[in-house]
Amino acid sequence: RPRVLSGIQPTADSYHLGNYLGAVRQWVTLQEEHEPFFFIADLHAITVEQDPKVLRERTRRAAAQLLAAGVDPERSAIFVQSHIPEHAQLGWVMQCITSFGEARRMTQFKDKSAKGGEGAASVGLFSYPMLMAADILLYRPAYVPVGEDQRQHLELTRDLAQRFNSRYKKTFRLPEPYILKEVAKIYDLQDPAIKMSKSASSPSGLIDMLDDPKASAKKIRSAVTDSEMEIRFDEESKPGVSNLLRIYSALTGTDIETLVGKYAGKGYGDLKKDLAEVVVDYVTPFREKTHQILEDRAYLDGILAQGAEKAGVVARRTLADVYERVGLVAPA
């Protein structure tokens, strides 16, 4: 079975709808036919300052949400990135084969460092894509399910894999991005020109999966649309309505065309009211399940230990190959 690998950062109390639809939901379907490795990216989280107590709590919450979403620990290795030291170790090797210029071209760094100025951003934030390349290449996966915003990092990962393979010896498999067009980018409800994001969205632009469902319903009902009346899918001129249709379609499995037909002659209010109900029905059991899982910390930590054991075997083997190929002397 081909391997899949993906990660998510524990940088919020809850996943938002973009993380969930753009990434995590694909993890659940992919685990059926693949050998999956899914991790909580706590080392990535500390590229910006974190409260240690909150980070620990969020790491467990992130894992609990994966289980609540349907990631099955019997099929998938679910683990915490920092439990596998090879991520940081291979990350260093990746930094050493990346040029400063190509790291500089990463748009996420430009965006994330724009606020405080490049000089204030951490070196870790700058080298984040090289750690991400290591996260991926360690497991030699065939596919990496992510949202559209990660495409550039994945291209860098492929470039680095290729560079390493040709400079030393074929070591890495070139991973393919697995990006579902329909949900690759879920937009902010208040500003449909930007992606739904924990750092850039206002609270009313973002649906948290663990938020009070009533609050989420309200956010859907007050989503920004446009001054026309007609419900149709047109991302250029109707980004707000198109975003709502995408979310509606993804949560119900109804295609957008059918939805447009269903709402012919109806108003934005009808669409929003119905979608608000769909969202409530979707997040309510997810939220309950997550809280239930969080109550049994021993169970959760046990799953993370089991995942780390599985991941560690693969990661150690890859790193040993890499160190040997680079010319590092193995300890006697």
Catalytic residues: 112, 195, 198
122 has binding-site annotation: no
**One of 78, 134, 186, 283 touching ligand AQP (CB under 6 A):** 186
Tell whether residue 185 is a contact of ligand AQP (CB under 6 A): yes
Please list every residue from 203 through 242 that binds ligand AQP, using CB under 6 A. Answer: none
Residues counted in the chain: 332
Please list every residue from 110 through 149 that binds ligand AQP, using CB under 6 A. Answer: 146-147, 149
Q: How far is the CB of 10 from ligand AQP (least distance, A)?
A: 8
For residues 186 and 308, which CB has a smaller minimum distance to ligand AQP in the complex?
186
Identity of the residue numbered 22: G
Q: Which residues contact 50 (CB under 8 A, 6 or more apart)?
A: 11
Q: Which residue is nearest to ligand AQP (CB)?
A: 22
For residues 197 and 254, which CB has a smaller minimum distance to ligand AQP in the complex?
197
Sort strands 143-145 and 35-40 into parallel, antiparallel or unpaired.
Answer: unpaired
Q: What is the Cα–Cα distance from 56 to 275, expressed in whole angstroms?
A: 34
Give the residue from 313, 320, 326 showing the smallest Cα distance to 165.
Answer: 326
For residues 196 and 303, which CB has a smaller minimum distance to ligand AQP in the complex?
196
18 has binding-site annotation: yes
Q: What is the Cα–Cα distance from 63 to 100, expressed in whole angstroms?
A: 34
Tally of CA atoms within 13 A in the half-sphere of 304 that contains its CB = 25
How would you classify residue 41: left for phi > 0, otherwise alpha for psi between -120 and 50, otherwise beta? Answer: beta
243 has binding-site annotation: no
9 has binding-site annotation: yes
Tally of CA atoms within 13 A in the half-sphere of 114 that contains its CB = 8
165 has binding-site annotation: no
Q: What is the Cα–Cα distance from 204 to 218, expressed in whole angstroms?
A: 9
149 has binding-site annotation: yes
Tell whether residue 8 is a contact of ligand AQP (CB under 6 A): yes
Q: How far is the CB of 261 from ligand AQP (least distance, A)?
A: 26
Q: Are 3 and 35 in contact (CB under 8 A)?
A: yes
Q: Are 133 and 160 in contact (CB under 8 A)?
A: yes
Q: How far is the CB of 310 from ligand AQP (least distance, A)?
A: 21
197 has binding-site annotation: yes
Stretch that binds ligand AQP, among 19-27, 78-86, 96-104, 258-266 (CB under 6 A): 19-27
Identity of the residue numbered 98: T
For residues 86 and 149, which CB has a smaller minimum distance to ligand AQP in the complex?
149
296 has binding-site annotation: no
Give, in order, the Cα–Cα distances in Å from 305 to each of 34, 257, 283, 292.
21, 45, 28, 19
Stretch that binds ligand AQP, among 79-87, 154-162, 180-188, 219-227 (CB under 6 A): 180-188
3-state helix, strand, coil split of the chain in percent (to 5) is 60, 10, 35
Q: Is 104 exposed, middle or buried (0-12, 13-18, 19+ CB in 10 A)?
A: exposed
- Token pair, residue 174, equals 């070139």
- Our measurement of the distance from residue 254's CA atom to the centroid of its chain's CA atoms, rounded to an integer in Å, reads 24
Quote the DSSP letter at residue 6.
E
**One of 4, 5, 23, 315 touching ligand AQP (CB under 6 A):** 23
Tell whether residue 200 is a contact of ligand AQP (CB under 6 A): yes
Tell whether residue 177 is a contact of ligand AQP (CB under 6 A): no
Number of residues that bind ligand AQP (CB under 6 A): 21
Stretch that binds ligand AQP, among 17-25, 49-57, 113-121, 249-257 (CB under 6 A): 17-25
**One of 3, 4, 18, 243 touching ligand AQP (CB under 6 A):** 18
Residues annotated within a binding site: 9-11, 18-19, 135, 147-149, 186, 195-199
Residues annotated within a binding site for L-tryptophan: 135
Binding site for ligand AQP (CB under 6 A): 8-9, 11, 16, 18-19, 22-23, 146-147, 149-150, 184-186, 195-200
